[in-house]
Structure 1
Amino acid sequence: MEADGDLARAARDGDVAAFAALAERHRAAMRVTAIGELGYTDEVDDAVQDAMISAFRQVASLREPEAAGAWLRAITRNVCRMRVRTRIPAPVADPEPWMSPAEGPDELLDRAGTRDWVWHAIARLSDPIREVMLLRYFTGMSSYAQISQLCGIGVDTVGSRLRDGRRILALTLRETAGAAFEAADAEAAALRREAEQHFAVIHTGGYDRIIDDWFRPDFSVVFMGWLHGDRAAAREMIDRTMGAGVTATLHDAVGSRNVVLWEGDFHNPSSDPDHCPPRFAWLLRMREGRVARLGVAYGQTPRV
């Protein structure tokens, strides 16, 4: 596996596949950063996508390639804090500790290979989505209010079109990267299999053994931001939930080094339809191959 620094240097020189592999490697950590800043809300996905696009535009100015992971998290953090301040996203500021003053973000777009990728991706968008994406990311008229006025649409519509555009661009980036994602895809599949196995065992009532084997003796669980307890507390939390007739299904499992994030949906029994919120996230921090800490968060909005 190539080191972060090697991928970042290649990405800085205009290698789209290298950037795609680097971004995929740190996607879980970026999501964790976004959840920490925004809570477990629907804004998290949009914030991570915004950060990915901002990072892609700025990678030519990355000063310390070995610090690429911290740089991606810093961009994510800045995006999220802007959302918290305004609840309407604005272009993210450059994270100065990792940026070179000699180069600007737009220089990457002037390099032929990357420019071709950008315009190929933009060309796949419908006209209404393309115009808001161009204004947002490639012009000085980038605020939601300015785009709303220029396009003659509401601010909410600006937001929804940007969300669609970001997802299409992310898909195009993945397709462009091609083989660069093979290792990441294999790792993602392994993470998902492991998560599915865990939830299958939870539903059979045999999770005690996994807690003893897989959770470290000094394990701690943090529930909705508050230190909640040890392995016994985790066992009690799971037993109480499953004992009430609640079931859980996995939605996604992503990981980056010693950080693993599981997201899923709760299904409450008809006799107690409000027992659990509709969505949950488990953040697993690993140490020496075992879980050292479990963070638990709930989402109140059902997944659509």
Structure 2
Amino acid sequence: MNSLPDPDAELLRAAQTGEVTALALLLEHHRAGMRAVALSILGPGPDADDAVQDAVLVALRRIGDVRDPDAVGAWLRMVVRNQCRGRLREARRLVPVEELAPQRDPAAGPDETLDRHAMQDWVWEAIEQLSPTLQLPLVLRHFSSQVTAYDQIARVCGVPVGTVRSRLNQARTKLADALTATAEAAHSDARTRTAASWDDARDTLATAEAGAFGSVVAQRWSPEVALMYGAARLGGSALITRAMDCDLAAGVRQRPVNVTAGRSLAVWEMDITSPPENPGHCPPSAAWVMDLDGGKVTRLRLFHPRPMAESVVEQRLATPADAL
């Protein structure tokens, strides 16, 4: 007797080709099991609901990673479990580890990474429909690799942690509607846009090391660009340029390790190498969180996921431009 086709397998194959309806049906089929895992770890309440919602967004990005159709239910429950464990770590004021971010093959380039996510284009198109206030915490939480904890996002945005939670809840609700609206519509190519942002990050750093960072800022960034620390504006293009030139003169080098890019927001995550004679000159990593308008940077938020002492960071950022 021939066995009936596995509905999960059919839905998984369709979802991996970008069919939003198939993914929605697949998630609905396993939602009860996902919620049961969250309740078993976190107990009833908003944290369990948020963990399931976070897991759904992870599934949107990583459904292409599932190779065994029989394991899709177990994979979704694992994603929920990792989200719950991350929340428990945050409650203990520890920085979440790799389970909170998509797993990346360190040998894979940006093209290979993006090719694994068939849903990337229409997810990004839906994200672009959100207001900047809701878009920023959602992108950091679900698309960055190091700026994922609520307290980190709060520091980047310059708002309390409770406000971050509220904005994420609003963003998830609006994103669900936007996904449905944009799934069948024409949309831009996220793969091409992100690859171009990788090139821009590398070219920006190479130009800076050649002593011409000011020309990059003048040509590609808005004349009114603002350097932000949380909600505070520290200065404009002069401060940005002098700070970069000062670090380069001291022997500091940056290397992009992850790039996330939409039309109105880009995040460049960097590894930082301090000079051997002064290994504590800079924190080991940084995120350039940039608001974009017409392709030009209008606002730059610098954030260190693995910072030095907070007082040192604040002192560096607060140094007057003339002193740099």
Which TM-score applies when normalising by structure 2? Answer: 0.46
Task: Report 1 or 2 for greater relative contact order, CA contacts < 8 Å, sequence distance ≥ 6.
Answer: 1
Task: Report the TM-score when normalising by structure 1.
Answer: 0.49
